[in-house]
Amino acid sequence: MNIGEASGRSGLPAKTIRYYEDIGLIRPDRSDNGYRDYGADDVHKLRFLHRSRSLGFSVEECRQLLALYEDKSRASADVKDIAATKLTEIDRKIRELTELRRTLEHLVHACHGNERPDCPILEELSEG
């Protein structure tokens, strides 16, 4: 498929997809006319990149995650180390998002119009 369809299916702008090729994250085929030609596997990777980027992982971290995902010898120790590290990070992110969610919900439902110094939520914002 062409870049437009890959863009539609992955949610990433075509510009970004070309950029990811520039920095070596993906390597699509080329058709005879010179157009990039993406397969289902490429779209999987692009969706994966779209997600992990939007969740606050850097491009270099995404590169590691992709390598993990592509690595043929998954049993190797360092690959497992990277995965374990990422798991810890993911758990932290989930915890922080949950707290942020709780805080926002308080802001909307509980704290309707109170002046700031009286509001106990202000403290919660910075804890953890």
The binding site for DNA (CB under 7 A) comprises 2-5, 13-16, 18-20, 23, 31-36, 53, 58-60
- Choosing among DNA, its own copies, none, which partner's interface includes residue 29 (Cβ < 5 to 8 Å by kind)? none
- DSSP secondary structure string, 10-52? H---HHHHHHHHHTTS---EE-TTS-EE--HHHHHHHHHHHHH
Alpha-carbon span 52 to 48, nearest angstrom: 6
Chain contacts with its own copies (rule: CB under 8 A): 41, 43-45, 47-48, 51-56, 65, 68-70, 72-75, 80, 83-84, 86-87, 90-91, 93-94, 96-98, 100-101, 104-105, 107-108, 111-116, 122-123, 125-126
